[in-house]
Structure 1
Amino acid sequence: MRMAVIPATDEADEGSDLLLWVLVWGELAAFGILLIGYLVMSMLHPESFALAKLHLTPRLAGFNTVVLLASSWQAALAANSQDKPGRQRLFLLLAAALGFLFVALKFVEYSSEWTAAGDENLQTFFELYFLITGFHLAHVAFVAALFVLAAIRLERSTIVILTTVWHVIDIVWLVMFPLIYLS
């Protein structure tokens, strides 16, 4: 018995588009709330936040920004290579590898910051810092893993959704980076 293939309808596409935008706006809202909380606390404790930032490594975070943007570029290339499955897989795996490199570099960065986090005077900053950057890091690791799975089973809608979410993760980092590391 042969199964019939049901073509995607505009109605189904609209439903997945709606789900994607709910996800995107939900992520932006969650990170927005965290970043607003960070800004409020930085205004309430300017001295301790300034002192805590001396323990950060902005150069490593800056390099990690380039890594994340390069990963995003690979994801965009994957989304635009639907007629070339081999290239699409390669781009997805490169996006994932760069995402995992971001994660590894972030753990290197955390290892040098962890000791300062125990200082009672810097505790508020580092609690927020690890919460915000850790939440972002979890997103990077999760979507990078999904890129690997997407490379195994290429599906246009999945790749578009993952790439869109990846770009949102980039936007969040591009706001976080100067706010936390450079201000």
Structure 2
Amino acid sequence: MSATDYEQQGSSWGILEDLPGDPMIWVLIFSELAAFGLFLGAFAIARLVQPALFASGQAALESGLAGMNTVVLVTSSWAAARGTQAARNGARRIARRWLLGAMALGGVFIAIKLMEYAQEIGRGIGLETSPFFTLYFLLTGFHLLHVGLGIVILAVVCRRAEAVSVETGTAFWHMVDLIWIVLFPIVYLVR
């Protein structure tokens, strides 16, 4: 059943009905946040168990590229927010432009991350190098898949650029951004 069907039947989504977009996207977002939370928890516990190994792993990472990717993804979220505002105002053409910009920046994020992976693999670093790199590749790779999925979602909602659809797609996109904002310092900076 869609959110509209529930509304017509008089059922309430509770707190979800006050959030922008379709309430079902929030179920997905909360489940994704829980999954990333578990991954980050495992990373934090492993760091406590092997602090020297994690410190040396972090030292081998290119935090400059990751920092650049942070700026790219935050800027992309800003563009998505502008697209949402335009869609709410009925300016679908402008909304599409902002969403295309957000998607393009998502593509830049992917390109930078793949370049970072290529550099690491070129130095002989891989999934089996150490527990740090196993968790690093799993965490950042899982996030990278979400960036790709987010681009697909934005492309789908961009087609019609209707306010509720755009709100739904950009809610997912902002979740992807939020996860990176948490992931970046934990994986690259916190010693």
1:155 paired residue number: 162
Provide the rounded CA distance (Å) in 2 between the counterparts of 1:32 and 1:118.
23
Q: Partner letter of residue 7 of structure 2?
A: E
CA RMSD of aligned residues (A): 2.1
Provide the rounded CA distance (Å) in 2 between the counterparts of 1:158 and 1:52.
41
1:30-69 alignment, distance < 5 Å: 30-69=35-74
Partner residue of 1:89 out of 53, 71, 96: 96
Structure 1 pair 28/97, CA: closer, same or farther in 2 (3 Å)?
same
Q: Partner letter of residue 106 of structure 1?
A: K
Post-superposition shift, 1:119? 9.0
Structure 1 regions of 5+ residues with no counterpart?
A: 1-7
1:11 paired residue number: 7
Post-superposition shift, 1:21? 2.1
- Identity among equivalent positions (%) equals 39
CA contact (8 A) 1:78 1:88 kept: yes
Partner residue of 2:125 out of 88, 110, 117: 117
Q: Partner letter of residue 163 of structure 1?
A: T
Structure 1 pair 119/159, CA: closer, same or farther in 2 (3 Å)?
closer
Does 1:144 find its partner at 2:151?
Answer: yes
Provide the rounded CA distance (Å) in 2 between the counterparts of 1:142 and 1:119.
23
Partner residue of 2:26 out of 21, 34, 38: 21
Tell me how many residue pairs correspond in the alignment: 175
Structure 2 regions of 5+ residues with no counterpart?
A: none
Q: Partner letter of residue 57 of structure 1?
A: E
Provide the rounded CA distance (Å) in 2 between the counterparts of 1:81 and 1:101.
23
TM-score, normalised via structure 2 length:
0.84
TM-score, normalised via structure 1 length:
0.88
Provide the rounded CA distance (Å) in 1 between the counterparts of 2:112 and 2:120.
13
Structure 1 pair 138/80, CA: closer, same or farther in 2 (3 Å)?
same
